[in-house]
Structure 1
Amino acid sequence: MTGGQIALLVGLILLIDSVVVGSIFYAVSQTMRDLSSKFPPMEPLPDSVRRRFQSFKIGLINLGWCVHVAVDERYLHLTPTRLARWFGVRAMSVPWEAIEVVGKAAFGSSIRVRIAGEEILDPRGA
């Protein structure tokens, strides 16, 4: 191969990678945009229970160790970690009335809920 062919091949590979990564970023941000626009983030109450670096699966998106959770009597507060924010995940506060428990997941240690038509899986069932 000539130097020009190698440069063309490397450029083509970089272009394809950019399209794939951009598509992933877009898919994640679109999925999360609907939920975060319906449930804007609120400040958790001072006595809320908090857990850091929790795992959730929202639709096709697996957010392993990418969500900080706060729970008070009004809302379930989901705040993405910095890594998840890079992918377009936004903070949200979901009122308890909007959460519908679907049941246990197929693997038994997870709980499935539905929020605004989007299925969410908590892998530990916490």
Structure 2
Amino acid sequence: MDKNVLVAEVHCYKLKPRIFSHVLSELTIVVYSGFQNQRLGKLLFTTLLTYIKDNRNDIIRVELVARESNAIEFYKNIGFVVEGRLEKRINNKTGAFEADVPMAWFNRNFQNYSGN
């Protein structure tokens, strides 16, 4: 295998306007087929969350939205909490619909610089 092949990725971004500057949203982690079931996703999640905890005390929450048939228990096990359900949001191509499940992880090292 070529050592320059991308096998997994993680991305999230700070929301705008400024009133959301303490939030990283749309957390997405992708592990490409052929590289799944090797714990790469968990490694990316835990590395990102550890980095935020240790280096980004301006971020209090990290958000993701998971399809209900996705790894909800996995996300809970790494510290995310369920914040609701968006019923019948996903058309799973079989004629059935599933909910999206908004989840968040909270940074215990957050420092509120604005004094609020």
Scaled to the shorter chain, the TM-score interval is under 0.3
Per the normalisation by structure 1, the TM-score is 0.26
Per the normalisation by structure 2, the TM-score is 0.27
Of the two, which has the highest radius of gyration?
Answer: 1
